[in-house]
A and B are shown apart, each in its own frame.
Chain A
Amino acid sequence: MIRSFVRSREAILLGALIALVLLVESRFSGFASPGNLAAVFNDTAILIMLALGQMLVILTRCIDLSLASNLALTGMVTAMLNAAVPGLPVVALIALAVTLGVVMGMVNGLLVWKLDIPPIVVTLGTLTIYRGLIFLISDGAWVNSHEMSAAYKALPRAELIGLPVLSWIALAVIAGFAVLVNRSALGRAFLAVGGNPHAAVYTGIDVGRTRFAAFAIAGGLAGLCGYLWVSRYAVAYVDVAGGFELDVVAACVIGGISIAGGLGTVGGAVLGALFLGTIKNALPVAGISPFWQLAISGAAIIIAVAFNARSSAKAGRLILRPESTA
Chain B
Amino acid sequence: MSYSIDMTDQIAGATDPVLRLAGISKSFPGVKALSDVELALYPGQVTALIGENGAGKSTLVKILTGLYQPDAGRIELDGAAVRFATASDAAAAGVTAIHQETVLFDDLSVAENIFLGHAPRGRFGLIDWARMRREAAAILTRIGAQIDPATPLRELGIASKHLVAIARALSIEARVVVMDEPTAALSATEIEELYELVDRLKREGKAILFISHKFDEIFRIADRYTVFRDGQMVDAGRMADVTETQLVEKMVGRAVDTIFPQRESVPGEVVLTVAGYAHPTEFADIGFTLRRGEILGFYGLVGAGRSEVMQALFGVTRPARGAVRIDGRIAVIRSPAEAIAQGIVYVPEDRGRQGAVTAMPIFQNVTLPSLPRTSRRGFIRMAEEFALARTYTERLDLRAAALDQPVGELSGGNQQKVVIAKWLATRPKVIILDEPTKGIDVGSKAAVHDFMAELAAEGLSVIMVSSEIPEILGMSDRVIVMREGRIAAEFDRARLTPETLVRTAAGYDRKGVAA
Contact = CB atoms under 8 A, between A and B. Distances in A.
B422 A322 contact: no
A1 B375 contact: no
A206 interface: yes
B447 to A, nearest CB: 22
Contacts of A182: 380
A315 B405 CA distance: 13
B355 interface: yes
Nearest to A319: B408
B316 A199 contact: no
Interface in B322-367: 335-337, 339-340, 346, 348, 350, 353-361, 364
A184 B356 contact: no
A202 interface: yes
Given A188-B368, A326-B71, A198 B353 contact: yes
In which size bucket is the chain B interface?
Answer: 35 or more
Which one of A184, A185, A206, A322 has the highest number of Cβ atoms from chain B below 10 Å of its Cβ?
Answer: A185
A3 B336 CA distance: 29
Given A2-B359, A3-B404, A204-B337, A198 B368 contact: no
Contacts of A199: 353-357
Interface residues of A, number: 29
A188 B361 CA distance: 11
A18 to B, nearest CB: 27
A206 B364 contact: no
Given A179-B379, A185-B378, A203-B336, A191 B357 contact: yes
B358 A184 contact: no
Contact of B368 (A2, A183, A203, A262): A203
Given A202-B346, A204-B337, A326-B71, A263 B408 contact: no
Contacts of B336: 201-204
B405 A3 contact: yes
B316 A202 contact: yes
A1 B28 CA distance: 21
A229 B132 CA distance: 60
B263 to A, nearest CB: 28
Instruction: Identify which of A182, A196, A206 gathers the most chain B CB atoms within 10 Å of its CB.
Output: A196
A326 B68 CA distance: 9
B290 to A, nearest CB: 20
Interface string A206-220: 100000000000000
A323 interface: yes
A209 to B, nearest CB: 10
A204 B335 contact: yes
B79 to A, nearest CB: 24
The 9 closest A-B pairs by CB, nearest first: A204-B337, A195-B357, A185-B371, A196-B357, A326-B69, A204-B336, A198-B354, A204-B340, A203-B368
Interface of A: 1-3, 179, 182-185, 188, 191-192, 195-196, 198-206, 262-263, 315, 319, 322-323, 326
Given A188-B371, A204-B337, 14 more contacts: A3-B361, A182-B380, A191-B359, A196-B358, A199-B357, A200-B357, A201-B316, A201-B336, A202-B314, A262-B357, A263-B359, A322-B29, A323-B28, A326-B68
